[in-house]
Structure 1
Amino acid sequence: MTKKILILLFFLGSIFMQAQNLVWKTNMTDAIALSNEQKKPMLILFTASGVPENLQNEIFKTPDFAVWSRDNVILVKLDLSDSTADESDREQKLKLKSAFGVEDLPEVCFASASIRKNKTTFSALGKIAYKPGGAKAWIAESNAILHSSE
């Protein structure tokens, strides 16, 4: 009996740790390079301090999201309230927020990008905010955005 409990705890612990080990890029240049290298779109989270944590707590911190994101997207977090960011970085984040039509925070945009002749061109795939229903419903809607042309 003790052995079964230990195995169960180990299994649940590994799932929990996997959900906590998401790697969020904070630099767009690095994210674009990785996105193009792995041929995956970017999931760009626009956020700031003081915004509701529902999206983080109910979606991003789940094992379902950890597995899905690892296989489908490059995670990018753009914190618009980051006081450690320099002026050009803050300006770039605000331009991207405007370009993607983000009005409410937090909000997620899916996009791909290419760099030619030192000019970055984004291709917006869609955007999604928090909606009640859990990670599986959010992932299903995200898949509909990412695979709309299939």
Structure 2
Amino acid sequence: MTKKLLILLFFLGSFFMQAQTLAWRTSMTDAIAISNEERKPMLILFTGAGVSDNLQNEIFKTPDFAVWSRDNVVLVKLDLSDSSASDGDREQNLKLKNAFGVQDLPEVCFALATVRKNKTTFSALGKIAYKPGGAKAWIAESNLILHPVE
């Protein structure tokens, strides 16, 4: 009995550890390549210093989000206040923020991108900000953006 309990605890612990170690990309070039290779849209989180942690704590740090994101999207985090980013990356991130019409931080945009002749074209699928209600409600709304009912 204790052996089964230990095995169960091991698997549950592994599951919850995975929820804390999401693979957020910070390079759009890498994210686009992975998105196209895996045929998944990108979830682009626009964030900055001093923004509310509600989205991070109530949505992104949950096991439900970890499982959903692994199966559905490529995670990209663009921190607009990152002082370690190169000037080119900061400029690119601000252009993307403006192109996607992001007003308030943090905000998430879902997008696909193609690269032809060294020119990147983005196709915005939709955007979503933090809303109270937990991870399941946020995921349900995200699924409506990613898989619209026609």
TM-score by length of 2: 0.94
Could you say which residue in structure 1 is the equivalent of 2:119?
119
Q: Deviations over 1:76-118 (max 9, x none)?
A: 0000000011111100000000000001000000000001111
One-letter identity of the residue aligned with 2:144: A
The match for 1:143 is: 143
The residue number in structure 2 matching 1:58 is 58
Aligned residue number for residue 32 of structure 1: 32
Give the corresponding residue for 2:6. 6
Aligned equivalents of 1:6 and 1:132: distance in 2?
Answer: 35
Q: Which runs of 5+ in 1 are unaligned?
A: none
1:56-95 equivalences under 5 Å are: 56-95=56-95
Structure 1 position 124, deviation (Å): 0.1
Q: Could you report, residue by residue, the CA deviation over 1:49-93 in whole angstroms, capped at 9, with x for unpaired residues?
A: 111001001100111100100000000000000001111110000
Is residue 2:102 matched to residue 1:102? yes
Question: Residue type of the partner of 1:122?
Answer: F
**Partner-residue secondary structure (3-state), 1:126:** strand
SS in 1 for 2:59: helix
Q: In the aligned structure 2, how far is the partner of 1:24 from the partner of 1:89? A: 16
SS of structure 2 residue aligned to 1:115: strand
**Aligned partner of residue 37 in structure 1, secondary structure:** helix
Deviation at 1:127, TM superposition (A): 0.2
Cα deviation, residue 3, structure 1 = 4.5
The alignment partner of 2:98 has SS state of helix
Structure 2: runs of 5+ lacking an equivalent = none
How many corresponding residue pairs?
150
Q: What is the distance in 1 between the residues matched to 2:40 and 2:95?
A: 23
- Residue 6 (structure 1) shift: 3.2
Q: Equivalents in 2 of 1:46, 1:53: separation in Å?
A: 13
